[in-house]
């Protein structure tokens, strides 16, 4: 049994691991020319951590993560608005219920579980068609690949989804987000506590990750896609936006390397009635991209992989 996977991100690597546990042959086609750590931090909730257990990846991934015992929602002065005790859920489920790590560390941990020989890089899929009982994939270099099962894990802008599900629609959530990694932990910061602080039209979250680092994200409303005032904002502009927030927000931003700042408009997908068509299956953001408000993007991708395998 053979499956072709489009995309060597979190979803693609996770489903490849699951299929190989079942004895399937897998081939992964990745558009990037090399596999390297990208992004900033991400959170894994109880559903994602349970999926990792199903896939045999729990210990590998948790070794790279910071366990989170409490999530506090704060106002911009640092007063607690709402608190969630994740230790209670961990006791109920028998495993961690929240963890945070660098996306690059998660990606590397998944890569260690697979032979590199099954991954072909610099292979951008540009079209997909159902022909008889197979999916025919067209790549930017002119190569054509056929498979009786294609798993599309190529993200929110999935070429496979656009070709086979032309009715699918991306949706602008009317806000934008900056993300980065800041070296060093501020004095007194509890590494097992994740905070998200709300101000007028903006919010910022802080979470410790292994290696004495802080992952942070800052969000604000946006009237349109690619708003130049937001897209061109540098670190100084972001620091000014959150200058009135409580400690240790200013310190974390001050420590952030200017060239590490990542900015994105926030998009999701309109709900789809099905994630399968013919011999193709959509996974992760290609199927159900969501806003990062619940920190479920990577987790849902791994849950998809666990359910399919």
CATH classification of the domain holding 200: 3.30.9.30
Digitized pLDDT (tens) for each residue of the chain, 309 residues in all: 999 999 999 999 999 999 999 999 999 999 999 998 889 999 999 999 999 999 999 999 999 999 999 999 999 999 999 999 999 999 999 999 999 999 999 999 999 999 999 999 999 999 999 999 999 999 999 999 999 999 999 999 999 999 999 999 999 999 999 999 999 999 999 999 999 999 999 999 999 999 999 999 999 999 999 999 999 999 999 999 999 999 999 999 999 999 999 999 999 999 999 999 999 999 999 999 999 998 899 999 999 999 999
The CA distance from 284 to 298, in Å, is 7
**Phi, then psi, of 173 in degrees rounded to 5:** -85, 5
Shared-domain flag, residues 54 and 184: no
CA distance 94 to 206: 26
Domain ranges, residue 200: 171-267
Statement to judge: residues 27 and 140 lie in one domain: yes
Same structural domain, 150 and 197 = no
Tell me the two tokens of residue 68: 């989170």
List for the chain the helix, strand, coil content (%; round to 5).
Answer: 30, 35, 35
Task: Assign residue 144 the CATH number of its domain.
Answer: 3.50.50.60
Task: Tell me, yes or no, whether 162 and 36 share the same domain.
Answer: yes
Of 122, 128, 151, the residue nearest 31 (C-alpha): 122
Domain co-membership, 29 together with 108: yes
Could you tell me if 111 and 17 lie in one domain? yes
Given this model, what pLDDT does residue 41 score?
Answer: 97
In a domain, 82, yes or no: no
Residue 104 counted as domain residue:
yes
Distance between CA atoms of residues 309 and 301, nearest Å:
13
Give CA–CA dist 286/148, Å, rounded. 19
Contact 210, 68 (CB under 8 A): no
Determine the Cα–Cα distance for residues 289 and 169; give it in Å rounded to an integer.
Answer: 11
Please indicate, yes or no, if residue 72 is contained in any of the structural domains. no
52 with 197, same domain? no
Same domain, yes or no: 150 and 248: no
164 and 175 fall within a common domain: no
Residues 120 and 154 in one domain: yes
Q: Dig out the tokens for 238 from the structure.
A: 């972001």
- Which position has the token pair 């100084």? 236
Query: 16 and 146, same structural domain?
Result: yes
Task: Determine contact, residues 140/126, Cβ cutoff 8 Å.
Answer: yes
Cα angle: 228, vertex 230, 231; to 5 degrees: 60
**Number of domain units in the chain:** 2
């Amino acid at each position: 049994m053979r499956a072709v996977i489009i995309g060597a991100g979190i979803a693609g690597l996770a489903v490849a691991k699951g299929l190989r546990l079942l004895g399937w042959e897998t081939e992964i086609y990745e558009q990037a020319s090399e596999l390297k750590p990208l992004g900033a931090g991400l959170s894994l909730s109880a559903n994602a951590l349970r999926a990792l257990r199903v896939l045999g990846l729990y210990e590998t991934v948790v070794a790279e993560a910071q366990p989170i015992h409490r999530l506090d929602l704060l106002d911009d002065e640092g007063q607690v608005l709402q608190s969630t005790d994740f230790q209670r859920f961990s006791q109920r489920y028998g495993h961690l219920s929240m963890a945070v790590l660098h996306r690059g560390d998660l990606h590397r941990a998944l890569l260690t579980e697979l032979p590199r020989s099954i991954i072909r890089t610099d292979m951008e899929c540009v079209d997909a068609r159902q022909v008889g009982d197979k999916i025919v994939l067209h790549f930017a270099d002119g190569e054509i690949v056929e498979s009786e099962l294609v798993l599309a894990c190529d993200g929110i802008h999935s070429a496979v989804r656009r070709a086979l599900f032309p009715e699918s629609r991306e949706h602008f959530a009317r806000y934008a987000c900056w993300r980065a990694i800041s070296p060093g932990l501020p004095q007194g910061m509890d590494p097992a506590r994740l905070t998200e602080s709300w101000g007028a039209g903006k919010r910022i979250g802080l979470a410790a990750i292994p290696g004495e680092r802080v992952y942070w994200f800052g969000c604000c409303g946006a009237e349109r896609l690619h708003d130049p005032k937001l897209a061109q904002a540098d670190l100084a502009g972001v620091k000014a936006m959150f200058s009135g927030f409580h400690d240790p927000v200013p310190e974390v931003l001050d420590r952030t390397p200017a060239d590490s700042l990542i900015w994105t408009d926030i998009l999701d997908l309109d709900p789809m009635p099905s994630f399968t068509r013919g011999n193709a299956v959509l996974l992760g953001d290609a199927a159900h991209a969501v806003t990062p408000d619940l920190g479920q993007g990577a987790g849902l991708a791994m849950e998809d992989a666990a359910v399919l395998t």
